[in-house]
Amino acid sequence: MKNVTLRQFRYFEALAKTGHFGHAAEISAISQPALSMQIKELERSVGTVLFERGSHGVRLTPFGETFATRVREILRAVDELDDLARAAQGRLAGRLRLGVIPTIAPYILPSVIPELTRHFPDLDIHIRESLTQQLLLELGAGAIDAAIVALPVSEPALEEVLLFSEPFVLVRPRSEAGLPLPDVERLREMRLLLLEEGHCFRDQALSFCNMSAPSARETLDASSLSTLVQMVGAGLGVTLIPDMAVDVETRSADVAVTRFAPPVPARRVGMVWRRTSPLSSQLTEIADLVRATAEPQHPST
């Protein structure tokens, strides 16, 4: 296999990930014909077809699947060499790929990003918002450098650093504002609105209520905290949201927010990265800054 370049490997990885020439070309910042030509050249160098082309996109051939695994290992090794070089500079500079889960991203990024930019002006920050399991996969594959998620993630290959603990609050229709705070037993009897499957906050809410996953007939699922709060305002039930989301999500909703008496349900928010990352000391610095910037100041319950 001769004349294969790292650039071709990156184009290959983009196409393998998206399954679409147009999307792969867009994220690779080249034209679609140029990307197509590079993929054909790569296939010529390899000596076999890597993708099946169809009217609805492309998919890896069986050999392409095996080839993709090796390509990802190579690209990850190259990225780690880049990280090693950056770490040797002794300062935070260059690209930082940070993943954040959706129940955290909208509420801390507006304050965290300006602080990161101010303290580390040479940092080029790329944000990736996705669910925990997807971020952990991308972290393991070297596609992102670190992620802000709910702890624990219990992955031996990952370093976990606690940023802060954050309480949950109860959101009810405004008409119920004067009612006593329901205990866990009463809460289990109410119509609890939840995030859809895949969100760790859904599992945390169910755990607090000591509930198994309800059936579709018993609840309505939402893809965002904003939708949950609006559903409560429409009288469809009650929900739990993290304290950091209160100001943003309840300002235009006809709801009442009630804070729990101790013991208060809460989640632990942390930052995780690969234990083998050459950037570990720099990522610790970033975690310290995120903690100082985003740690909530809780009102008394």
C-alpha–C-alpha distance, residues 17 and 10, integer Å: 10
Over pLDDT 70: what percentage of the chain? Answer: 90
Q: Could you tell me the domains of the chain?
A: 6-84 (1.10.10.10), 91-164+267-294 (3.40.190.10), 166-264 (3.40.190.10)
The pLDDT tens digits for 159-172 are: 999 999 999 999 99
Pairing state between β 221-222 and 192-195: parallel
216: Cβ contacts below 8 Å, ≥ 6 apart:
none
The pLDDT tens digits for 177-204 are: 888 888 777 777 778 888 877 778 777 7
Burial (0-12, 13-18, 19+ Cβ within 10 Å), 78: middle
The model's pTM is 0.74
C-alpha–C-alpha distance, residues 176 and 50, integer Å: 60
